[in-house]
Every structure is written in structure tokens, then in C-alpha cells.
Amino acid sequence: MSHWRIEVFNRPGYADAHARGVLDEIRESGISDVEAVKAAKVYLLDGDFDEDFARRVAGELLTDPVCQDYYMGRRPAEGGQALEVHLKSGVTDPEAESVTTAIKDMGVEAEHVRTARKYVIAGQLGREQLELIARRVLANDCIEDCLFGEAADPPNPHLEPYKLDLTQWPIRELKADELVHLSREKDLFLNLREMQAIQEYYRGLDREPTDVELETLAQTWSEHCVHKTLKSAIDMEFEGKQVHYDNLLKETIFNATKSLGKEWCISVFDDNAGVVAFDDDSAICFKVETHNHPSALDPYGGAATGIGGVIRDPMGTGLGAKPIANTDVFCFGRPDMKPDEIPRGVLHPKRIMKGVVAGVRDYGNRMGIPTVNGAIYFDDRYLANPLVFCGNVGLMDKDKCFGNPQSGNLIIVVGGRTGRDGIHGATFSSGQMTHEHETIFSHAVQIGNPIVEKKMLDVLLQAREEGLYEAITDCGAGGLSSAVGEMGEKLGAEVDLDKVPLKYAGLSYTEIWISEAQERMVIAVRPENLERIEKLFASENVEATVIGKFTDDRKLVL
């Protein structure tokens, strides 16, 4: 196998808006010794092809022939010091995926493609200043590594194949403080009462739980999936009177809707999104959701997957709605705060704001879904944890508002592949943000790929019109665990985890089961429709893989 490094940069005389933006941000951050910034895009290609073909890829695919040029190898950093920003191992790289597909269209299989960003910083700067520039402006420690000077390329993220090692986490004999420690150590975010309830259950079974069982329970009981706080008993003062709620959510929002009993409310508090009547034939599907913690760690990726996930909610309601419009509300800390006012482990509000706005905008635009309205608010209380509230409106026929999975249906996962991104994304939403989240929960951040979701949406709408599936849901928080578990709640399910398509080797059975990697949906399909649905998805270059079947024993077997 051959390894090729290609750097793409603007020709002299052509302005580089990205490099200019970086220079402005460096100066805004209080570093005034930088004289100029040059930027380049780096592509690392592995494959069984020669230099002539690599140059074809560089010239015909990676370079804009009007204003750009390319360099094979490592271009000398003339007039400054070089810094390179690479994604951490396992972080999704949508651009690399697109390049891989394009190279395949050119008739050659690329074994692996990675991308990076290179900056040449001119000025009298020491290593400490360069590291400050990298941390404040160039790289996000949560998902990226910054290499200084003529450093070697980062290790290839391909991992060794996983060897089955079924693991138990003994809890039956643990004391209270030991249960709390286990929950904290394993990032379960379950409190003592919840851990004791699980402990009693397994004492009744007379066996210890496996790691995947505890992980499944943890994501199911997470704040994101079950809204523990909103469903709690609440005592409060309202208009001078003491008010008690046994279940705040059910006795306020739920109760108001139920008591009104409007006949135009077709499906509420039941599916992935609410459905209301629009006219005689159509219904409106509407969903809003927050994506705060991930956006605090990686503003662009967190916000992009926030809107991407909320788009999939109408897609996964009933037999699937067509998303037509986005909306949002953003709340940040003050963007004019000085760098020394920012606590350790917290990104600057201006950086968070730019990333969040760009993430929501870009994802919607690439799917062809406009953002039709929104709001923005600044307050110091949003400094460490911004509010990123995304919404989507979908349109569907009234006769497609409900799905009906049945025993014997095949479980098919469609769309993107499963990776390590999004591990513990559901459970860490239950925790308090601290300065350690940036490091400890980097795996909880997902990187979205709107092109994959757009392709998946288009082919799912075709399959829906042909009546090729019985039910659909998205792989949101909890991944396959929640998607298959919720769809098969009244049925039962058997899942072959080794059949789940992976982004790279090395994932354990638990990681495959709870990963929240983006752009995936689960559908229930009658066996007689399998051949047609496989052909349909293949015709649009969208993966569709049978990973199991629904049963009739109400047991979930992996």
C-alpha cells in the first residue's frame, strides 16, 4: 500500500478568507505578535495506487484550478512556524468520507483517507504563544490534536479487530458508597437509589449484570431519554401559594394538552415528535430539542448534530415525515468577555457562538432545509453551558402518522455507520458540566454528515411511498439500544451486533450497542419486502443492513 500526502493552498495573489479570519481571531484573543497567517488543507491518502493517480486526485478532485495549487509531500513552512490540526483517532471526518467516495468514482479504492488543516504563523513567537494560539483559536482539544513544527503524521486511526470478551460488572454485594463509585467510574450517571434498584433486580436474578446491560439501563434512565428532572415531584411557590406536583411534566404540559382534548392533535407525547392536523389530507410534525452539553465541548459539531438529530425526529415519527423547515433559539455568555475572564476548560462565548450558528446553518443548508426563524440571547449564566435549542417541522400524510412493528419483522439499520463518536452522549447529559468534561467526554461528541442524512432521507421517502417498511425510528440518544429497544418494547428483539456496519475496526459489543453515531435510522421490514428494499437503498448508495428480527417473547437478546 502507498501513502500520499497532498497539501492544497491558495496561489499568490488570491485572498485566503479563512487565514484572514484566523489572524483576526488571534489578535482578538490578545496575541499581537503575529504578523501573518497562511493556511492549507492537508489530505493523507492510503491506497494501492501510484503517484500519477495521486496527482490526478490532487489536480482534478482536491484543487480549485482557478485559485489553488497543490504540493506532494510536506511543503516547507517558509517565513513562519507550522502547526497542523488533525482529528483525534475515531472522530468522524465527513470530508474524508466524501473524498473516499469520489476516488472510488474515479475507478480506484482508497484504503483510507484523512484530512487536516495546516497553518504557517509568521511573527516572533515562542512555543508557549503557539500553544496558546492552538488552544484558543486553531484547535478544539475535545476532538482535535495540534502538531507543532515538522512533526510526524498522527497514527492511523484504524484499530485492531475486536475479540469478544464478555464482561460482568459485579454489583450484588456492593455497599452504597461502592455503588456510587461504580456509577461515577463507568460514566453511568445513575444516583444511589437507581443503582440500588438495579442491584435488587440482579439479586433477584441471582447473577451479576454484564457491562452492556448496565449501559443499556443507564442510557434508558438518562436525563436526555427519560427527563428525570421534569418528571420529578416539585414543591414551589406560585402567586403567593405553595404548589406541589407529583410529576411536573405530566401535571403541567401533558395535562394541559390532554385536558383540552383537541381532535386535531393526532399524536402527542407518544412518538419521536408531535403530530397535528394541517388540512384534510396532511399533518404537521414538529419537534424541538436541546443539544447543550455537546455544543459546549464542540460548538460546530455539537450544534450540527443537534439540528441533524431533530431533523431525524420527524423522519422517525409514524411512517416518516418529510422535513421542510428548521427553527432555533441560542443563548450564550457575553461575546465581549476578556480571555482571562473565561474559566479553565471553557471555550470563549464568541467561539461557541460562531461554531453553533455555523453548525446549524451548514447542516440545514446541506440537506436543503431552510432555517425560517430563530432567536438569540446573551447572559453570563450561559458561559459554560450554552442553550442550543433546535427545532424542525415536517409534513406527512394523515394515513402515515402511526407505525406498526410486528413479530417476525426484520430489523434493518440504514444510513451512516457506527463509530465511537457519541459514546455516553445520553448519560453525560445527566451530569453537571465541569472543567474535566472537555477531556473525559470527548467521545460523547458526535460529528454529523448531512450529505449522508440527505441521501438517507430521499430513499426513505421512496420506501415509505412504496409501503416497504412497517415502522421507523431514529438512532438518537442511546443509539441502537434505544432505537431497537423502543420499537420492540411490546414485542421482543434479537440483534446480531457483529452485523452492524462499522466506521472502523475495534469496537466492542457495548460500544456498538450504545454509540450515538449520527445519520442512522432503524426500520422494521417484512421478510418478503427485503429484496426490494435492499435494491432501492443500493440504487441511492445508502447502506441498509439486516441486524436482527423482532420476536414475540418481550426479551431483548444481543
In the chain, the amino acid numbered 84 is E
Residue 289 to residues 135, 310, 390, 413, 422, Cα–Cα distance (Å): 30, 7, 6, 23, 17
Strand partners, 387: 331
Known catalytic residue at 86: no
Catalytic residue among 18, 158, 181, 224: 224
**Phi (first) and psi of residue 184, to 5 degrees:** -70, -45
CB-based burial, 20-59: b 16+ in 10 Å, e otherwise: eebbebbeebebeebeebbbbbbbbbbbebeeebbeebbe
Q: CB–CB of 439/141 below 8 Å?
A: yes
Rounded distance, CA 512 to CA 484, Å? Answer: 13
Residue 434 to residues 219, 242, 351, 445, Cα–Cα distance (Å): 20, 33, 18, 15
Rounded distance, CA 252 to CA 255, Å? Answer: 5
Question: If you write DSSP's letter for every residue of 478-506 in order, what string do you get?
Answer: TTHHHHHHHHTTTT-EEE-GGGS-BSSS-
Known catalytic residue at 224: yes
Q: CB–CB of 142/445 below 8 Å?
A: yes
Set of cell numbers at residue 72: 506532494
Burial class (CB within 10 angstroms; exposed 0-12, middle 13-18, buried 19+) of 18: middle
Burial class (CB within 10 angstroms; exposed 0-12, middle 13-18, buried 19+) of 126: exposed
Burial class (CB within 10 angstroms; exposed 0-12, middle 13-18, buried 19+) of 257: middle
Rounded distance, CA 48 to CA 481, Å? Answer: 38
Q: Is the dihedral of CA 545, 548, 554, 558 positive or negative?
A: negative
Q: CB–CB of 448/312 below 8 Å?
A: no
Set of cell numbers at residue 52: 500519477
Rounded distance, CA 133 to CA 22, Å? Answer: 10
Rounded distance, CA 140 to CA 345, Å? Answer: 11
- Angle, CA of 433, 434 and 437, to the nearest 5°: 85
Catalytic residue among 86, 291, 293, 348: 291
Set of cell numbers at residue 546: 439486516
Query: If we measure between CA atoms, which residue out of 478, 493, 474 comes closest to residue 216?
Result: 478
Rounded distance, CA 309 to CA 292, Å? Answer: 13
Query: Mind telling me the catalytic residues?
Result: 224, 291
